[in-house]
Amino acid sequence: MLKVLAGQIGVGAVLAAVLWGSYGHVAGYSALLGSLTCVIPNAFLALRLAVPRRDPGARSLIRAAYIGELGKLALTVLMFGMVFVLVRPLSVLPLFAGFIAAQLATFAGLVMRDEQPRAGKTESKHGD
């Protein structure tokens, strides 16, 4: 989880730096705000899933995931609302580019995790 969040922050920071250098400071901080609008709610969800619960069963984990997803959605809406109301000037295209780039970093992390060999399982070149 932490690697994915760090990857999201890294992707957002790199995109913000590139846009800042290419299109100016408004585009740069707009992209950074967009990526933070993705990272902070994802961190909330990760925290909900990682915190130990009194009941270690599946039902408790599902409840934590459900509350985490609802909180993630609410935080995302709240953060976009705050950015649109409080930040002037704002460049909308870099804002959404930062958000989408951070979301894609999440999917890239999941894909890379699935490609790692499982412990105890080896693959043969011949499919044996």
Flag whether 42 is in a domain.
yes
> For residue 103, is it within any domain?
yes
| pLDDT, position 61 | 82
> Assign residue 52 a region: left if phi > 0, alpha if psi is -120 to 50, beta otherwise?
beta
Domain count, the chain: 1
Task: Output the pLDDT for position 112.
Answer: 76
Percentage of the chain with pLDDT > 90?
60
Q: Which pLDDT score, from 0 to 100, does residue 69 have?
A: 94
Q: Is residue 127 part of a domain?
A: no
- Does residue 128 lie in a domain region? no
Indicate whether 92 belongs to any domain: yes
Average confidence score pLDDT of the chain = 87
Per the CB < 8 A criterion, the answer to whether 65 and 39 are in contact is no
Number of H helices and number of E strands within the chain? Answer: 4, 0
Residue 118, domain member (yes or no)? no
Confidence category of residue 89, pLDDT binned at 50, 70, 90: very high
**Residue 25 within a domain:** yes
Residue 106 is predicted with a pLDDT of: 82
Q: Which pLDDT value is given to residue 121?
A: 57
Do the domain assignments include residue 123?
A: no
Q: Which of 58, 38, 37 is nearest to 107 (CA)?
A: 38
- Please report, for residues 15, 20, 75, 107, 114, the alpha-carbon distance to residue 117 in angstroms, rounded to integers and kept in the order given: 31, 39, 35, 18, 8
> Domain of 32?
2-110
Range 37-44 average pLDDT: 95
Residue 110 confidence class, pLDDT cut points 50, 70, 90: confident
